[in-house]
Amino acid sequence: MAESVTGTSGTTGIAASAATGGGAGTTGSVTAVATGASTSAQVLHQPVTSGAAISPRTWADVAEAGKRANVPAGLWMRCESCTAMLYRKNVEQNLHVCPECSHHYRIGADERVAQLCDPGSFEPMWQNITPKDPLKFKDVKSYKQRLADTQKKTGHADAVVCGKGFVKGRGVALACMNFHFLGGSMGSVVGEKITRTIEMATQSDLPLVIASCSGGARMHESTLSLMQMSKTSAALARHDQAGGLFISVLTDPTTGGVTASFAMLGDVILAEPNALIGFAGPRVIANTVRQKLPDGFQRAEHVMGKGFVDRIVHRKNLRSEISRVIDFAGK
């Protein structure tokens, strides 16, 4: 655009370039120059008028240009808690915890397994159990379609990864929930896999570790989801009667039907710092009781103060803490 203007000379040149390049409202200023007295004046004025015809540079543009700095996308991130600019790789190497403020980011089931187990020791189980849609549930999208999309996105059949592995050399039955799969919601597959993990722990006399990360029961499966609460709880009762150990790890968020069933039934309940732990969300409660909720309401520290959590453990110490509890329990 600028080239075409400087390349032309004389009245018609300016008018032509303005007509081709200028937006609405620019023609007026160009015409004024075109009807001017001298050609030299036109030439002198040319950069000014043609500049206006193109689009005047504003301070907003400068700010915009500043934003478009030539940095590859995703290399840096801003901490959602302390707003510090962080090199993404540093955060990943730091177990997805902000190095500045210790904010614990949500991680998927695979990362959780990798963080908890000794390298290469985890054996996934029951990966072929896939969810069905017995109720033909449909909201804006059909449940069937939603499942297909989420399975493709996450590479998992459902919202939990179960199996056995070693934590600092101690064998464990392990289940890790995946919030990235429909909010880590518990449908019949999640309930079934967790129940099988519990039963495997009971039969093999292994300590059981479940890392919860869930919004609760899966509404798409209605009462079939709710039934998983009693199913998992009954399996845990049998595990307990057989003298088994269950370490429940609550991560952000652990809410709804998961809190109301197995997550709160641990012999020892550990929680990550600042994890949201509760049944109904704080907004629902605030609207119901019509009172201002205390600071940190339903956060791990607050919940520990009420006796629901035994210990808050930084992610980097989870492995040590779990193995210490296993040793303490003589498992």
CB 47, min distance to Zn ion, A: 48
Stretch 220-259: interaction string toward Zn ion, x if CB under 5 A: ----------------------------------------
User: Is the Cβ–Cβ distance between 134 and 302 less than 8 Å?
Assistant: no
CB 161, min distance to Zn ion, A: 27
CB 94, min distance to Zn ion, A: 11
CB 273, min distance to Zn ion, A: 12
Question: 99 or 281: whose CB is closer to Zn ion?
Answer: 99
Question: 76 or 126: whose CB is closer to Zn ion?
Answer: 76
Measured between alpha carbons, how far is 116 from 166 in angstroms, rounded to an integer?
8
Q: Which of 98, 201, 217, 313 binds Zn ion (CB under 5 A)?
A: 98
Question: 87 or 328: whose CB is closer to Zn ion?
Answer: 87
- Cα distances from 1 to residues 10, 27, 59, 66, 210, in angstroms, run 17, 15, 21, 23, 63
Of the candidate spans 66-74, 93-101, 264-272, 284-292, the one that interacts with Zn ion by CB under 5 A turns out to be 93-101
CB contact set of 254 (below 8 Å; sequence gap of 6+)? 212, 213, 214, 263, 271, 275, 276, 277
Question: CB burial class (10 A; 0-12, 13-18, 19+) of residue 273?
Answer: middle
CB 275, min distance to Zn ion, A: 16
Site size for Zn ion (CB under 5 A): 7
Measured between alpha carbons, how far is 99 from 90 in angstroms, rounded to an integer?
8
Q: Which residue has the tokens 């032309």?
A: 8
Query: Within 10 Å of residue 101's Cβ, how many Cβ atoms?
Result: 13
Residue in 236, 191, 182, 247 with CA at minimum distance from that of residue 214: 182
Of the candidate spans 58-66, 74-82, 234-242, 282-290, the one that interacts with Zn ion by CB under 5 A turns out to be 74-82
Stretch 100-129: interaction string toward Zn ion, x if CB under 5 A: xx-x--------------------------
Q: Per rule CB under 5 A, is residue 82 in the interface with Zn ion? A: yes
HSE-up (13 A, CA, CB side) for residue 173: 24
Question: 55 or 90: whose CB is closer to Zn ion?
Answer: 90
Measured between alpha carbons, how far is 65 from 77 in angstroms, rounded to an integer?
19
CB 81, min distance to Zn ion, A: 4
CB 301, min distance to Zn ion, A: 17
- Cα distances from 265 to residues 108, 120, 210, 235, 261, in angstroms, run 23, 29, 11, 11, 7
User: Is the Cβ–Cβ distance between 23 and 31 less than 8 Å?
Assistant: no
Of the candidate spans 22-30, 91-99, 114-122, 262-270, the one that interacts with Zn ion by CB under 5 A turns out to be 91-99
Q: Per rule CB under 5 A, is residue 79 in the interface with Zn ion? A: yes
Question: 41 or 101: whose CB is closer to Zn ion?
Answer: 101
User: Is the Cβ–Cβ distance between 229 and 242 less than 8 Å?
Assistant: no
Tokens, residue 42: 């036109």
Question: 94 or 154: whose CB is closer to Zn ion?
Answer: 94
Q: Which of 31, 81, 154, 323 binds Zn ion (CB under 5 A)?
A: 81
CB 96, min distance to Zn ion, A: 12
Measured between alpha carbons, how far is 1 from 16 in angstroms, rounded to an integer?
12
Binding site for Zn ion (CB under 5 A): 79, 81-82, 98, 100-101, 103
